[in-house]
């Protein structure tokens, strides 16, 4: 088997494993959202997700952009077969996260009544925000550990930690939690499930990394980690919070918790389309870093292009399913959620642009072009906010969906332009060219 074929086979195997686990996790996440929707109603679900949006922003800030820095450095150390150094990358990163997360959690817990009243204009959100803030450390640790597992190419365990364990545990305890504690039971469930997930994730990391003698456990230079993560922090805030969460927050500010609940449910329902790209990203990112380090440009181009085309082709049936069955999908959350079907269709069309561009954002990050990805993310976030301020007051949940799609499309266009300008790689067009050549052959 050629080197190129071996890489392709490894990515496909990793992507299939990730797709299965991501699909399982997304299904569990969808079921969890449906359960929460039926237990809490549209207004309660809106409050839950508004509190989660605040905790998610805090978690991203606490992680300082270390997610992709950990993936990058762990993958590099794994390529050098130095697992002691790879282990040091993770432990050093977790120490940084802990010392920032602890005071952040305390501050948010104390100020949760004021944040609920002055930022979200919803005092009923205080208890949810309190419990959500306690999950900042556990969720941050969970995501860092997941990225480290990707770096050593333990894709299955990475996907289990990132997207399977939390919803699985939450489904098991959410019903009694809500019935005992009421509205805040949902947020309490989130705290418990992320804590258990982080602990299990750490155990899986230890199992994968093996026994590393104490003498071979150097402290990875924090300056090196933070230098790489600094340029990624802004991008993480934009891609990890502004683009997925800002429409919901703007909707909560300009509209009612019920509208926020409708939009949040539609976002959860549309994840089936982005599922394929997420799975491929999990498998392909370490290969981007390794191929770029080896200066294998043609192989890097073909890898990015072929998988962009395959993911786009595979996503089309899911797009058709979501568009045709939008009312049915939203009805699963409860009869009052059917009004969110239009927002679901809008978001589905936006995800097509997302998968069509391929893993172009990861391509930039893994090849040392974090600054371009960051700048593109900032421009897209600015467009989202402007579009949201214009559209949300008039169109509610649909306006939030339009704003989200504007950001997704612009981010992928800008990232594609940067990939071409800096790397001379344009993933989707390469895939189309390969298809045309094969059809002519």
- Give the pLDDT confidence of 10-40 residue by residue, as tens digits: 555 655 666 677 778 888 998 999 999 999 9
Token readout for 211 is 């026994």
Token readout for 291 is 């191929």
Contacts of 92 (CB under 8 A, 6+ apart): 219, 220, 221, 222, 225
- Give the pLDDT confidence of 191-233 residue by residue, as tens digits: 999 999 999 999 999 999 876 654 455 566 677 777 767 666 7
What proportions of the chain, in percent to the nearest 5, are helix, strand and coil?
Answer: 90, 0, 10
Is the pLDDT at 1 greater than 60? The verdict is: no
**Closest by CA position to 67, among listed 228, 304, 276:** 228
Contact yes or no for 210/83 (Cβ under 8 A): yes
Q: CA-to-CA distance for 299 and 322, rounded, in angstroms?
A: 35
**Closest by CA position to 171, among listed 379, 28, 372, 357:** 28
- Give the pLDDT confidence of 425-441 residue by residue, as tens digits: 888 776 666 666 666 65
Contact yes or no for 101/140 (Cβ under 8 A): yes
Q: CA-to-CA distance for 243 and 247, rounded, in angstroms?
A: 7
Is the pLDDT at 272 greater than 80? The verdict is: no
Domain ranges of the chain: 3-440
Q: CA-to-CA distance for 73 and 370, rounded, in angstroms?
A: 14
Given this model, what pLDDT does residue 395 score?
A: 93
Given this model, what pLDDT does residue 293 score?
A: 77
DSSP state of 211: -
- Give the pLDDT confidence of 292-346 residue by residue, as tens digits: 878 888 888 877 877 777 777 777 888 888 889 999 999 999 999 999 999 999 9
Lowest mean pLDDT among 104-113, 216-225, 258-267: 216-225
Contact yes or no for 144/67 (Cβ under 8 A): yes
The three-state secondary structure class of 152 is: coil
- Per cent of the chain over pLDDT 70 is 86
Range from 84-88, 237-241, 270-274 that averages highest in pLDDT: 84-88
> How many other β-carbons are positioned within 10 Å of the β-carbon of residue 3?
9
Half-sphere exposure of 210 (CA within 13 A, CB side): 11
Is the pLDDT at 243 greater than 70? The verdict is: yes
Half-sphere exposure of 240 (CA within 13 A, CB side): 24
DSSP state of 268: H
Given this model, what pLDDT does residue 214 score?
A: 45
pTM here is 0.80
The three-state secondary structure class of 424 is: coil
Torsion of CA 238, 239, 241, 242, to 10 degrees: 50
Q: What number is the average pLDDT over the span 154-175?
A: 93
Which residue has better confidence, 8 or 158?
158
Q: CA-to-CA distance for 396 and 108, rounded, in angstroms?
A: 29
Contacts of 305 (CB under 8 A, 6+ apart): 358, 425, 426, 427, 428, 429, 430, 431, 433, 434
Q: CA-to-CA distance for 384 and 414, rounded, in angstroms?
A: 14
Categorize the per-residue pLDDT at 153 as very low, low, confident or very high, splitting at 50, 70 and 90.
confident
Token readout for 186 is 């949902």
């Amino acid at each position: 088997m050629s080197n190129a074929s071996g890489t392709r086979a490894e990515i496909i195997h990793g992507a299939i494993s990730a797709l299965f686990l991501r699909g399982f996790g997304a299904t569990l996440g969808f079921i969890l959202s449906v359960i929460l929707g039926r237990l809490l109603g549209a207004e309660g679900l809106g409050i839950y997700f508004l509190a989660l949006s605040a905790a998610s922003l805090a978690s991203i800030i606490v992680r300082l952009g270390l997610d992709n820095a950990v993936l990058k450095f762990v993958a590099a150390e794994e390529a050098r077969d130095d697992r002691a150094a790879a282990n040091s990358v993770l432990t050093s990163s977790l120490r940084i996260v802990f010392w920032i997360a602890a005071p952040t959690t305390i501050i948010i817990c104390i100020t949760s009544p004021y944040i609920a009243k002055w930022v979200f204009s919803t005092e009923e959100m205080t208890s949810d925000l309190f419990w959500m803030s306690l999950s900042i450390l556990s969720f941050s640790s969970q995501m860092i550990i997941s990225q480290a597992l990707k770096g050593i190419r333990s894709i299955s365990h990475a996907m289990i930690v990132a997207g399977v364990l939390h919803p699985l545990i939450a489904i098991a305890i959410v019903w009694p939690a809500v019935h005992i504690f009421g509205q805040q039971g949902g947020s309490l469930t989130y705290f418990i499930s992320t804590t258990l997930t982080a602990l299990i994730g750490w155990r899986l990391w230890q199992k994968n990394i093996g026994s590393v003698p104490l003498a071979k456990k150097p402290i990875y230079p924090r300056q090196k980690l933070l230098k790489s993560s600094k340029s990624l922090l802004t991008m993480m805030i934009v891609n990890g919070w502004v683009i997925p969460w800002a429409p919901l927050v703007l909707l909560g500010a300009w509209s009612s918790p019920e509208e926020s609940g409708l939009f949040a449910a539609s976002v959860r329902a549309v994840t089936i389309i982005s599922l394929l790209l997420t799975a491929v990203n999990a498998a392909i990112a370490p290969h981007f870093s390794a191929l770029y380090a080896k200066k294998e440009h043609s192989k890097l181009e073909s890898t990015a292009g072929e998988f962009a085309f395959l993911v786009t082709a595979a996503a089309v049936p899911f797009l058709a399913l979501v568009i045709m069955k939008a009312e049915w999908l939203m009805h699963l959350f409860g009869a009052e959620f059917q009004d969110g079907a239009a927002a679901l269709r809008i978001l589905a069309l936006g995800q097509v642009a997302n998968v069509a561009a391929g893993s172009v954002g990861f391509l930039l990050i893994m090849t040392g072009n974090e600054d371009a990805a960051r700048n593109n993310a900032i421009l897209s976030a600015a467009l989202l906010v402007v579009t949201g301020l214009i559209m949300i007051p008039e169109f509610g949940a649909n306006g939030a969906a339009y704003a989200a799609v504007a950001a997704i499309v612009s981010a992928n266009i800008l990232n594609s332009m940067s990939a071409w300008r800096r790397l001379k790689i344009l993933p989707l067009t390469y895939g189309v060219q390969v298809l045309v050549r094969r059809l002519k052959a």
